[in-house]
C-alpha cells in the first residue's frame, strides 16, 4: 500500500514513453493520409449501402 502511487506513476510513465515511440515511428505523410482517407470513405459508403439494403429487406418482410 505504501508504494501504490509510485507503481502507478511508473506505469503511466512507461505507457507515455511507449506511446511516444509508437507515434514517432508511424509518422504518415500527407499523400499516404489522403489515400487512407479515400479508402476509409469508400469502405463507409459500402457499409452504408449494405445497411440500406438490409433496411429495405426488413421493410419487405414486415409487409
**Dist CA 42 CA 48 (whole Å):** 10
Is the pTM here over 0.75, yes or no? no
**What SS3 class is residue 41?**
helix
CA 41, 43, 56, 59 dihedral sign is negative
The ranges assigned to domains in the chain are 4-62
pLDDT of residue 3: 73
pLDDT digits (tens, 9 = 90+) for 2-58: 778 788 888 888 999 888 887 777 776 777 778 888 888 888 888 888 888 888 888
In which element (H, E) is residue 59 found? helix 30-62
pLDDT digits (tens, 9 = 90+) for 34-48: 888 888 888 888 888
* Cβ-contact 36, 28 below 8 angstroms: yes
Amino acid at each position: 500500500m505504501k508504494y501504490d502511487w509510485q507503481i502507478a506513476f511508473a506505469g503511466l510513465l512507461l505507457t507515455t514513453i511507449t506511446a511516444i515511440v509508437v507515434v514517432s515511428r508511424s509518422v504518415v505523410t500527407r499523400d499516404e493520409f489522403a489515400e487512407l482517407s479515400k479508402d476509409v470513405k469508400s469502405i463507409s459508403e459500402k457499409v452504408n449501402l449494405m445497411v440500406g439494403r438490409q433496411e429495405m429487406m426488413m421493410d419487405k418482410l414486415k409487409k
